[in-house]
Amino acid sequence: MGLIASGVTVKLGRRTVLRDVSAAFEPGRVTVVLGANGAGKSTLLRAAAALVPIQAGAVTIDGGDVARLPPRERAGTIGYLPQDAVVHWNMQVRDLVALGRLPHGDAGADAIEQALAATRTLDLADRSARNLSGGERARVLLARVLAGEPRWLLADEPLASLDPQHQLETLELLRNAAMAGMGVVIVLHDLTLAAAIADDVLLLKDGQVLAQGPAEAVMTPDHLAAAYGVRVDMVVRSDGRRIILPLGPV
C-alpha cells in the first residue's frame, strides 16, 4: 500500500504550510519532491516522518497511521535525513554511523560496514565526526540512515553540499536502494538532477499539490513554469537524459 499522505494540513505558527495535500509514494521507486522555496517540501517530509504535528489528514504506511507507531518501530521503518544536519557529538565516524542501529537494538556490524562502503566513507571511519567537511558530513549522515536499513528513506536536499562526483555517486546509491525495494523520497532543487533520478515527481506550489505522477508527465515546461514562475528549455540527449535550463521569468 506504500506511504500515503491523505488530506494533510500543517500549520507552523499562524502560517499554513501544507494545505490538504494528498500524495502516494511507492516502495521500490524514487520520488522527487519539487517546488519553489516555501512550497512546503521540507515540511511534507517532516510530516511524513511524524516530526511535526498534522492539523488535518494523516500519513499512513501500509494503512497504519505513522504518528501512532511506537517511536522505535517508526524509527526503524523510516530513515529521515534533514537538510543541513549537524553533528553535536565529538565521536568517531564509525560510532556515529552505528547510531543508525539503535531502533533495532543490535550492533549490526555488517550493516554499518555496508553503509560506510556504499557512501564511500570507509576511509573516514576512524576520524572525528566533528572534523569533517560539509560534503563528508553529508555522506556520513546518509550512511547513518542507511545503517538502520529502513523501509523508507526520506532525504531533504541530500546533494546540496556534495561536489559533482559525489552527487552522481549518491544518485546511484539512491537508485540502487530503490531497486532493492526501499521507498525513496527526496527533495531536490536541481531540475536536471531530479530528471536523472526520479521515477515519480511530486510538484508542490504554495503548500498544495500542483501535479504528481511519472517524472516525464510532471516535469513539463508548463508545469515547471507554473511551479517556479520561470520558462525552461528542455534538452533531451541521445541517451534519453533530460537537461532542464531556466530561461527567465514567465
C-alpha cell at 220: 513539463
Strand order across the beta sheet in which 3-12 lies? 15-25, 3-12, 56-61, 64-65
- Integer Cα distance of 65 and 78 in angstroms: 13
Burial of 169 per CB tally in 10 Å (0-12, 13-18, 19+): middle
Query: In angstroms, how far is CA 196 from the centroid of its own chain?
Result: 15
Identify the CA nearest to 225 among candidates 242, 205, 195, 209: 205
The pLDDT value given to residue 109: 94
- Integer Cα distance of 95 and 89 in angstroms: 10
The pLDDT value given to residue 97: 97
CATH number for position 99:
3.40.50.300
- Integer Cα distance of 211 and 214 in angstroms: 10
* Residue type, position 210, single letter: L
The DSSP H or E segment spanning 230 is strand 230-236
The pLDDT value given to residue 214: 97
Q: How many domains are contained in the chain?
A: 1
The pLDDT value given to residue 239: 86
C-alpha cell at 117: 562502503
Radius of gyration of the chain (CA): 18
- Integer Cα distance of 250 and 248 in angstroms: 7
Residue 159's SS3 state is coil
The pLDDT value given to residue 15: 95
The pLDDT value given to residue 161: 86
Low-confidence ranges of the chain (pLDDT < 70): 1
Strand order across the beta sheet in which 183-187 lies? 78-81, 152-156, 183-187, 30-34, 200-205, 208-214
The DSSP H or E segment spanning 210 is strand 208-214
Convert the pLDDT of each residue in 103-127 to its tens digit.
Answer: 998 889 999 999 999 999 999 999 9
Domain around 242:
3-249
pTM for the complete prediction?
A: 0.95
203 touches 223 (CB < 8 A): yes
Burial of 180 per CB tally in 10 Å (0-12, 13-18, 19+): exposed
